[in-house]
Copies of this chain bind each other. A is one copy, B any other.
Amino acid sequence: MQLNKEQVLQALSNVEEPDLKKDLVTLNMIQDIHIEGNRLSFSVILTTPACPLKGLIENACRNAISHFISPAVEVSINMTSRVTTQKNTGVPGVKNIIAVASGKGGVGKSTVAANLALGLAATGAKVGLIDADIYGPSVPIMFGLEGAKPQASQVNGKTRIEPIEKYGIKLLSIGFFTDPNQPVPWRGPMVSSAVKQLFNDADWGELDYLVVDLPPGTGDIHITVTQSFPITGAVIVTTPQNVALADAKKGIGMLMMDAINVPILGIIENMSYFTPAELPENKYYIFGEGGGVKLANMINAPFLGEIPMVKSISESGDAGKPVVLTEDGILSKAFLHLAERVAQQISVYNAKATDLQDVINR
């Protein structure tokens, strides 16, 4: 039997990408086919390094070769990825912008943004994080970077700010440029131009995902960011109370306005309940129950999960090392899972929004 490329593509065209609902060949995800006798190797180029379906797809490929060609073929598969993009994000080199938003303050936006960014990076993606909360920047404290000052360099005669690298991601916070002991009594136009610089004047290089931690509300920063930098999708954080849900709904309402039109990747409910170590069976729903799911159903968006109130989350944030990096198994797994879900959602949106063939070839 003489193996050939045609046969291989024919066989693999029976494997469907479960999220994107098309076969791997049509999706142009099969590349680098090499044949040597009955040894076959090829690459499967997933649209997210975090793809939770990686194992499933690899198995399906092996089965297809075995079934449609022969069990005798020795198959070696290189599972790799190239994050897709769909629209010009307005920041050269940045494929996707993910906004973390809420409407209400103090619900855990910064906590989710930081752990999401680190979770995406843990899967192998190139990740940046912008902390755009001018009046309450959290990145300096959460990443142990109080007092850090980004370098400015000259690139082609223009000043470029160098994001600070920590824990494998690139960071910029409006807090790096203001005195932590001084208030920032700035009105809207000043705030807007400061935030724009974090996107435009920084040397982000190539990024798969740029996570943006937005302030509460639907004000100047939101208007400026959504108008200047087309956002791939938004993750909405809420706590379970009515007053938080009301604000979250408004935040979502703004993102869904025709002129802005940011897809909602999903809802995360934070501070859902508390479980004392002494009563591991008990869940105390201090802020009420089920608000996140209710909101997700209302706007027909995926519910991405709930995060309990856990001391190590606030402690790790205060100590400069977000919880996803610490050894606490359950929480870091939860945030990694969240990162996978978000990456998956983005890959689906990108596939829907553009001719995928075209996108993967970019």
Which A residues are within 8 Å of any B CB, using their own CB? 103-107, 110, 134-136, 138, 141-142, 180-189, 191, 215-220, 222-223, 239, 241-244, 246-247, 249-251, 253-254, 257, 274, 276, 278-279, 282, 284-288, 309-311, 314-315, 317-318
Contact = CB atoms under 8 A, between A and B. Distances in A.
A227 to B, nearest CB: 10
Contacts of A282: 276, 278
Overall SS of chain A's interface: loop
A253 B110 CA distance: 23
B288 A309 contact: no
Top 3 closest A-B pairs, CB basis?
A105-B105, A106-B106, A188-B188
A284 B311 contact: yes
23 contacts: A105-B105, A105-B107, A105-B136, A135-B217, A135-B218, A135-B250, A180-B246, A180-B250, A182-B250, A182-B253, A183-B254, A185-B222, A185-B254, A187-B188, A187-B223, A188-B220, A191-B219, A241-B314, A274-B284, A276-B276, A276-B284, A278-B282, A286-B311
B287 A183 contact: no
A103 B187 contact: no
Nearest to A317: B243
Given A215-B217, A241-B318, A184 B250 contact: yes
B288 A223 contact: no
Q: How many copies does the complex hold?
A: 2
Contacts of A278: 279, 282
Contacts of A285: 311
B276 A288 contact: no
Contact of A243 (B141, B249, B254, B276): B141
A219 B286 CA distance: 31
A130 to B, nearest CB: 17
Given A135-B250, A276-B279, A318-B242, A218 B184 contact: yes
A283 to B, nearest CB: 10
Given A141-B243, A243-B318, A135 B216 contact: yes
A216 B244 CA distance: 14
B251 A183 contact: yes
A219 B222 CA distance: 14
A140 to B, nearest CB: 8
A246 B181 CA distance: 8
Contact of A286 (B107, B274, B317): B274
Contacts of A216: 105-106, 135-136, 215-216
Contact of A181 (B185, B249, B286, B309): B249
A219 B136 CA distance: 11
Contact of A183 (B135, B181, B253, B274): B253
Nearest to A239: B106
A292 B9 CA distance: 65
Given A105-B216, A184-B250, A274-B284, 5 more contacts: A105-B107, A135-B218, A187-B219, A219-B219, A286-B310
Contacts of A242: 141, 317-318
Nearest to A277: B284
A297 B291 CA distance: 38
Contact of A223 (B106, B180, B185, B276): B185
A141 B246 contact: yes
Nearest to A106: B106
B243 A186 contact: no
A223 to B, nearest CB: 6
